[in-house]
Amino acid sequence: MTIQRMDNVGIVVDDLDAAVAFFVELGMSVEGRAPIEGPWADQTVGLAGVRSEIAVLVTPDGHGRLELAKYLEPAASEMSPRNPPPNTLGFHRVMFAVDDVDDTVARLRGHGAELLGEIANYEDIYRLCYLRGPAGIVVALAERLG
């Protein structure tokens, strides 16, 4: 048995509206929003009394999806440290191919994004950067050159 596809990447956020706005600014569109609760939700995630709201965003090509979740009950717990460095074990980053790294970074800064380092040139093939977005999410951007 093989997998059919990667369906989505799920990320827990503390401000769903701000996270949605950030990823819409990046170029994704909202595919849907919904409240999530009930016995099936409890069983799936292994928590009791789950009440959350999710938003599913899709990339322009229709293949990549993010599921952003805001937990109302039980409340989300803080990661420690709040903004771990990129070499922390576990979830690392989400990378997006973009047309213009400089323009994208400038627009995302309007939504609170901060560069972790600098925009780097990789062998005149890509311009790359990491930035921290909502809820401490590390987002990588790649602009193909030439």
Give the C-alpha separation, 54 to 37, whole Å. 11
CB 81 within 8 A of CB 25: no
Tell me the pLDDT tens digit for each residue of 43-97: 998 999 999 999 999 999 999 999 999 999 998 888 788 888 878 777 778 999 9
Q: CA 90 to CA 18: how far, in whole Å?
A: 24
pTM of the model: 0.90
Distance, in Å, from the CA atom of 109 to the CA atom of 115, rounded to the nearest integer, reads: 9
Give the pLDDT band (50/70/90) at residue 3: confident
Nearest to 131 by CA among 76, 145, 81, 102: 102
